[in-house]
Homo-oligomer: A and B are copies of this chain.
């Protein structure tokens, strides 16, 4: 698949590359140098080359990168377009926002199940999917577990729901509950802490105000 041990920092930059290259491709651009890609993305040319070299030989010295080719390769590395089956746990505001987020679908992530505890939304349809009671989780999913679970529950339920999902055989959890969950080896997790980026913004605002004084 790729050379071993790609650092997490490189992985985290890949979605940004993908988005930016997609934008260039839509604009009809065919080639880009590491210098130009770097300056647009706030990275050095050498960092760009290092990042991309992790995944094999993709550019040509003096010719830069072929944009559609590089975008397709990064998309493949990120598993875009694999038609992943997704279960959404928790149909509150965040869950609904995720279920209806543009781009989610056309990257190949398809919500097939939605669970909640309250009625409504249990019994209603969201994004075309009937919301089921969480008590049916094991019954509905065990035979053919979805690839990914989106966990959008209150903080205090997050770990026990994650444990149930893992017991069913789900191997990737995208966690929006405001509490990091812990998973065993062999299960992937991304703990999204929405307020983290707000605090980074707040830090920068403070610095700007301090500069004014």
Contact = CB atoms under 8 A, between A and B. Distances in A.
Interface of A: 1, 11-12, 14-16, 18-19, 77-80, 82, 84, 92-94, 96-98, 100-104, 107, 109, 147-148, 154-155, 171-174, 178, 180, 186-190, 192-210
Nearest to A18: B199
Contacts of A205: 79, 84, 147-148, 171-172, 188
A195 B79 contact: no
B210 A198 contact: no
A204 B178 contact: no
16 contacts: A14-B200, A15-B195, A78-B202, A79-B199, A80-B199, A84-B202, A93-B97, A102-B178, A103-B178, A104-B198, A107-B195, A107-B199, A173-B201, A188-B201, A188-B204, A190-B201
A195 B155 contact: no
Count of identical protomers in the assembly: 2
Contacts of A193: 15-16, 19
Most buried by B among A1, A18, A148: A1
Contacts of A11: 200, 203-204
A204 B172 contact: yes
A15 B101 contact: no
Contacts of A173: 201
Nearest to A86: B198
B15 A200 contact: yes
A203 to B, nearest CB: 5
A190 B199 CA distance: 10
Contacts of A109: 198, 202
The 6 A-B residue pairs with the shortest CB-CB distance, nearest first, are A93-B97, A188-B204, A79-B202, A15-B196, A172-B205, A15-B199
Contacts of A97: 92-94, 96-97
